[in-house]
Amino acid sequence: MNFDRDDELVHPLAGTMPRGAPPELRRDVLDAVARELASANGRSTTAWLAWGVAALVLLAVGLNVAVGMNEERRMARLRRHHPQRADVAELAETVVTLTDKASADRFRDYLARMLPRRAAPPEARPPESWPQNEIRAVGGVLVDP
Amino acid sequence: MESLAKRLAQGEPAAFAELYDVCADRLHHYLAVRMGSYDAAGDVLQDTFVRLVRSRRRFAGVENPVAYTFAVARNEAHRAAGRGAREKRRPMATADELFVAAPDDHAARLAAESVAAALAKLSEELREIIELKHYAELTFREIAEVTGLPQGTAATRYRTAIGRLRGFLAKEWS
pLDDT tens digits along B2-12: 689 999 999 99
Minimum Cα–Cα distance from A10: chain B residue:
B166
Q: Say yes or no to pLDDT of B156 above 80.
A: yes
Residue A35 has pLDDT above 60, yes or no: yes
For residue B55, pLDDT over 80 is answered with: yes
> pLDDT category, B1, cuts 50, 70, 90?
very low
Instruction: Name the residue with higher pLDDT: B160 or A97.
Output: B160
* Nearest CA-CA distance, residue A45 and chain B, Å: 15
pLDDT of res. A9: 45
CB B169 within 8 A of CB A12: yes
> Which of A131-145, B48-62, B87-101 shows the lowest per-residue confidence on average (mean pLDDT)?
A131-145
Q: What is the pLDDT of residues A40-64, one digit of tens each?
A: 777 778 888 899 999 999 999 999 9
Taking 60 as the threshold, does the pLDDT of residue B96 lie above it? yes
Query: Across the interface, do B139 and A4 touch by the CB < 8 Å criterion?
Result: yes
For the cut 60, the answer to whether the pLDDT of residue B86 exceeds it is no
Closest residue to A21, CB basis, from B24, B98, B154: B24
Torsion-angle region of residue B12: left (phi > 0), alpha (psi -120 to 50) or beta?
beta
Cβ atoms of A39 and B54 within 8 Å: the answer is no
Of B3-12, B85-94, B120-129, least confident by mean pLDDT is B85-94
**Which amino acid does the sequence have at A107?**
F
In chain A, the residue whose alpha carbon lies closest to the alpha carbon of B107 is A15
How does the average pLDDT of chain A come out, rounded? 76
Nearest to B161 by CA among B123, B135, B132: B123
pLDDT value at A80 more than 80: no
Out of B53, B155, B169, closest to residue A40 by CB: B53
Ranking A14-23, A100-109, B27-36, B164-173 by mean pLDDT, the lowest is A100-109
Smallest Cα distance from A56 to chain B, Å: 29
Angle, alpha carbons B13-B19-B25 (nearest 5°): 130
% residues pLDDT > 90 (chain A): 26
Q: Please report which confidence band the pLDDT of residue A30 belongs to, taking 50, 70 and 90 as the band edges.
A: very high
**ipTM of the prediction:** 0.85
| Residue B30 burial (10 A CB sphere; 0-12, 13-18, 19+) | buried
pLDDT at position B71 over 50: yes
Say whether pLDDT at B89 is over 70.
no
Q: Cα–Cα distance between B39 and B36 in angstroms, integer?
A: 9
Interchain CB contact of B169 with A (< 8 Å): yes
CA distance B137 to chain A (A): 10
Looking at residue A8, what is its pLDDT? 38
Distance from CA of B73 to the nearest CA of A (A): 14
Q: Any residues with CB less than 8 A from the CB of B143 and at least 6 apart, and which?
A: B129, B132, B133, B149, B151, B154
Question: What pLDDT does A110 receive?
Answer: 74
User: Average pLDDT of B74-97?
Assistant: 76
Lowest-confidence segment of A138-142, B2-6, B13-17, B38-42 by average pLDDT: A138-142
Nearest of B41, B44, B47, B135 to residue B93 by alpha carbon:
B41
**Amino acid B91: pLDDT:** 64
Q: In the prediction, which pLDDT does A7 show?
A: 45
Interface touch A30/B50, C-beta < 8 Å:
no
Which residue from A4, A16, A26 is facing B20, i.e. has the nearest CB?
A26
